[in-house]
Amino acid sequence: MILVTGATGNLGSLVIENLLKKVDASEIAAFVRDAEKASDLKAKGVDLRVGTYDDTSSLDNAMQGVDKVLLVSGLDPNRYEQHKNVVDAAKKAGVQFIGYTGVSMKDIDSATNKFMGSHFQTEDYIKASGLNYAFFRNTLYTEGLPLFLGEGVFEQGIFLPAGEGKVPYALRTEMAEAIANVLAGDTNIKETYEITGAEAVSFGEIAQMLTDLSGKEVGYVSPSRAQFEEVLKGAGVPDWAIGLVADFSEDIRDNQHNVAFDHLEKLLGRKPADVKSVLKGIYNL
């Protein structure tokens, strides 16, 4: 039995969708906070196990009869403690393997976005547990680009303090397919996969792609962090959102996410989608 957490989220639900093509639904369990949100999974024959990462008894119940777990990382400030609860429950219940969705980064110690450190802490905790594992160090989602580019990208251009730093974006849909391939296979492994696209691109290059695709001139300005914060504050954007985008942008500027590997291509058995063709689809160009 394979238990997928975060099963009502974007990535977890896509992993289950892909797993259903490879294994019988009776072999899949979904860990969800809200059973109602997962009624479609139930209808497909997936076993629902309700709980949260904070509730250790719900995790103990969820692990019954499970051989493999995919732990989809959370977003709460205490996620490291939450992830530890999942690993502890898995070990206690005799689970053999844990997959974990972390992040692909060059050097967490010099990163601006310190929250990402909890991914590497979780990996260390899983390693120390002695269980078999696969770490899926996911790059930034190509589907997430519109959040960085902003709603008025074709009118106002791109405005981010990301310099000429590059990211090998990859599709969340393809990450899910690759993760399902690993989960459905022989998991007597201890592997780290850097789940990235084949080619890293900068926001300057993305602006050029959007210009080519739309026929409209899309510019790119990279302000200082202080200028960026001032302009967004003036536009009424909440402080937490400004801080989050600025932290990501600074790490992009410093090429923290610029680590392109062929692991995703190998796990998919084909080249991952390139950023330009994905942008074409997202913006219907």
Ligand X SMILES: NC(=O)c1ccc[n+]([C@@H]2O[C@H](COP(=O)([O-])OP(=O)(O)OC[C@H]3O[C@@H](n4cnc5c(N)ncnc54)[C@H](OP(=O)(O)O)[C@@H]3O)[C@@H](O)[C@H]2O)c1
For binding to ligand X (CB under 6 A), which residues are involved? 5-6, 8-12, 33-34, 52-54, 72-76, 82, 101, 138, 140-141, 144
Closest approach, Cβ 242 to ligand X, in A, equals 17
Q: By C-beta, is 54 or 262 nearer to ligand X?
A: 54
Closest distance of CB 121 from ligand X, Å: 13
How far apart, in whole angstroms, are the C-alpha atoms of residue 281 and residue 273? Answer: 11
Where is 278: in which H helix or E strand? Answer: helix 275-282
| Alpha-carbon dihedral 11, 2, 190, 51, rounded to 10 degrees | 70
- Nearest Cα to Cα of residue 219 among 232, 205, 231: 205
- The nearer residue to ligand X, 211 or 254, going by C-beta atoms, is 254
* 65 vs 144, beta carbon nearer ligand X: 144
Cβ of 209: how many Cβ atoms within 10 Å? 19
CB of 142 to ligand X, least distance (A): 9
- Smallest gap from Cβ 283 to ligand X, in A, equals 18
Which long-range contacts does 209-213 make (Cβ < 8 Å, 24+ apart)? 209/275, 209/276, 209/279, 210/153, 210/154, 210/279, 210/283, 210/285, 212/276, 213/276, 213/279, 213/280, 213/283, 213/285
Asked whether 256 and 116 are in contact (CB, 8 A), the reply is: no
Min CB(84)–ligand X separation in Å:
12
* Residue whose CB is less far from ligand X, 117 or 231: 117
By beta-carbon proximity to ligand X, the closer residue of 24 and 36 is 36
Least distance between ligand X and beta carbon 73 (Å): 4
Instruction: Give the nearer residue to ligand X in terms of CB position, either 10 or 214.
Output: 10
